Amino acid sequence: MNDRPGKNLFFEGQVLHFAGLAVLLAAVFGASGLRGFQTGAFLGISTLTWAALAVGDAVLHQIYVWLCWRAELHRQRLTRLLDVRAFPIYAILFAILILLRSY
């Protein structure tokens, strides 16, 4: 599927995703001032660091999926770059990121 002439569809329909990301980051920033975030720890890692890692992985995963799918959908960039290996490489990295989200 190709873009319509003169219109970049790479960001089409993404306003709600960006808004959701802004709300998520604002909520984490707001919660970081709570007492438990300042004093808690697990495995020697502070609660704030755990929260940052969890949110960071979720954000990274969403951006990875968005970039890969948009690049493939509108310009077949992954297929042109990686040929038949495009989907297996995408799937392996996707699996790693989703597994990290579950721990």
Q: Sketch the domain layout of the chain as residue ranges.
A: 15-101
Lowest mean pLDDT among 5-9, 11-15, 16-20, 83-87: 5-9
- Distance (Å, rounded) from C-alpha 103 to C-alpha 99? 7
User: In this predicted model, which residue has the larger pLDDT, 20 or 40?
Assistant: 20
- Structural tokens at position 79: 């297929």
Q: What is the predicted pLDDT for the residue at 88?
A: 92
pLDDT tens digits, one per residue of 19-36:
988 998 898 888 888 777
C-alpha dist (Å) from residue 9 to 13, 42, 64, 65:
8, 43, 17, 16
Q: What is the predicted pLDDT for the residue at 4?
A: 56
- pLDDT of 81 strictly over 70: yes
Q: Please, which residues have CB within 8 angstroms of residue 81's CB and are 6 or more apart in sequence?
A: none
Confidence of residue 6 (pLDDT cuts 50, 70, 90): very low
pTM of the full structure: 0.69
